[in-house]
A = this chain, B = another copy of it.
Amino acid sequence: MTKGRLEAFSDGVLAIIITIMVLEMKVPHGEDFAALQPLLPVFLSYVLSFIYVGIYWNNHHHLLKAAGRVTAGIMWANMHLLFWLSLFPFATGWMGENHFAPLPTAVYGVVLFLAAIAYYILQSLIVAQQGPGSKLAASIGSDMKGKLSPILYVAAVVLAYKLPRVACGIYVFVALMWLVPDRRIERVVEESKAED
């Protein structure tokens, strides 16, 4: 299998996911501010998911650049990742429309968690292919963020039932953790872990 076509297919799916998410923000029937107001949580959850898909697209790009031959295992691990990412529009729309209610907020975290696990599997397959001494293995290093994220998602899912706002805060924190340049955030994370 050519890597180019796997990348092109993944790009296509990610481009569609990121764009159809906006369809969950239904055009309201009224024409005043009152008609826009209920859309605010939908908009906020859209912004969050847009950033998440952007992060996945970015990381996915770097990961596949490092990959060698595309084996059947890598191809299906990639499909598995795309599957969970394809549920983002649903999870985003449900959480937004219900104004970050407990269950939808928890389900959003479950989808984030499963996408993170799928990414971890894909990454592990490619690292195994490249070998422990490879550049890719070195650049991933201890993979602090990759290991911390699913733990934080699980925490958010558990907290969502009682404190959905806190769960949302965790989702925002994880997104920021991936967005801001690496070194600094990792130090912050390690320090905050040291404080706990």
Contact = CB atoms under 8 A, between A and B. Distances in A.
Interface of A: 1-2, 5, 7-9, 11-20, 22-25, 27-29, 31-33, 36, 47, 50, 54, 57-58, 61-62, 65, 72, 75-76, 79, 82-83, 86-87, 89-90, 93-94, 97-98, 101-104, 107, 179, 181
A161 to B, nearest CB: 11
Contacts of A102: 31
Contact of A57 (B9, B11, B19, B36): B9
B61 A22 contact: no
B19 A98 contact: no
Nearest to A1: B61
**Interface of chain A: mostly helix, strand, loop or mixed:** helix
A76 B19 CA distance: 16
A20 B14 CA distance: 12
Contact of A19 (B31, B36, B86, B94): B86
Nearest to A23: B20
Contact of A15 (B13, B90, B97): B13
A47 B102 CA distance: 25
Nearest to A6: B61
Contacts of A107: 36
B103 A31 contact: yes
Nearest to A99: B31
Contacts of A36: 103, 107
